Amino acid sequence: MKAMALPRNTNGASAVPPFPTIDQVMVEERAQAFGKRSIKTSAKLQGLKLAISMMDLTTLEGKDTPGKVAFLCRKAMQPMDPRYAVPSCAAVCVYPNLVRAAKKFLGESGVKVASVATAFPTGLMPLRLKLEEVRSAARDGADEIDMVIDRGVFLGGDHKRIADEIAATKEACGEAHLKVILETGELQTYDNVRIASEIAMRNGADFIKTSTGKVSPAATMPVTLVMLEAIRDYFYETGIRIGMKPAGGIRTAKQALAYLVMVKETLGDDWLTPDLFRFGASTLANDVLMQIAKTVDGNYQSADYFSLP
């Protein structure tokens, strides 16, 4: 396979508009600045509830069972005592074999079922098998498919193959929404993250997503910012609003609020909705709920007062 570079900032004719490069120092500095916003009282409560409504409660373990998925679904539908008026989560994210179980437990609650697919988490399988996996998950009732890109192929420079695989996966999704996981921890540079985001958006992604959660580092603020900026430029160019899902590594309410600040100040109000922004997380929910209880009641409760997912 021949390593090939993408056209950058060439103003001549090209298949795609130029992709801007990313300056590491400045993007990290900017990302850090969002964390300095002081979110208090009413803004804090509103932000925390918004975060809950954007959450994809996730279980992606080898030991997952329908029983475990039932716990997760119940938690997603009603995260907390009704008196706190906390919305339900956006989705439950599971492996393809558990889509039916999740669908059954969630029923008509409005909480979506997301399924990872395409040989999650590596993507290292023949395309036809990956597509069959996607079709199977969609047939079982998955509303959303979280695919992974083949990072080996990407780093080898064959961006065309990545594009083709994403487009084929989108086709296999049918009605289901497609989230494309870039696994930014393996792409390593911000420039790569930007290029991968562009390829995903231009080939049918409804959402772009940072990570599988199986590789460290998972989501970070600067990586998410690079992707949000790619979404912004793509919106200017095409008028299509792409969603964003940072996943993995977001564990505290404070972090979640910093991400929301970043979305608000980068893409504006229109993206402050579960339709266009999600958190992929397994442990974040209870920290957010704990902060909601603290903000409403005025004092902290121990972890025992919050049901496990």
Nearer to other proteins, 64 or 158 (CB): 158
Residues classed as catalytic: 146, 209, 245
CB 99 within 8 A of CB 115: yes
Residue 168 touches other proteins, criterion: CB under 8 A: yes
CB 243 within 8 A of CB 274: no
Nearest-approach distance from CB 221 to other proteins, in angstroms? 14
Residue 199 touches other proteins, criterion: CB under 8 A: yes
Amino acid at 162: I
Residue 299 touches other proteins, criterion: CB under 8 A: no
CB 122 within 8 A of CB 133: no
d(CA 49, CA 39) in angstroms, rounded, equals 13
Residue 68 touches other proteins, criterion: CB under 8 A: no
> Residue 39 corresponds to which tokens in the numbers above?
């979110």
- Mask: binding to other proteins, 218-257, rule CB under 8 A, as x and -? -----------x--x--xxxxxxxx---------------
Q: Single out the segment in contact with other proteins by CB under 8 A; choices: 58-66, 125-133, 194-202, 280-288.
A: 194-202
User: What is the enclosing helix (H) or strand (E) of 245?
Assistant: strand 243-245
CB 193 within 8 A of CB 187: yes
Of 78, 185, 67, 50, nearest in space to 121 by CA: 185
Judged by CB under 8 A, the chain residues 82 through 121 that form the site for other proteins are: none
Nearest-approach distance from CB 11 to other proteins, in angstroms? 5
Among 133, 146, 183, 198, binds other proteins (CB under 8 A): 198
Q: Single out the segment in contact with other proteins by CB under 8 A; choices: 15-23, 68-76, 79-87, 297-305.
A: 15-23
User: What is the enclosing helix (H) or strand (E) of 258?
Assistant: helix 253-266
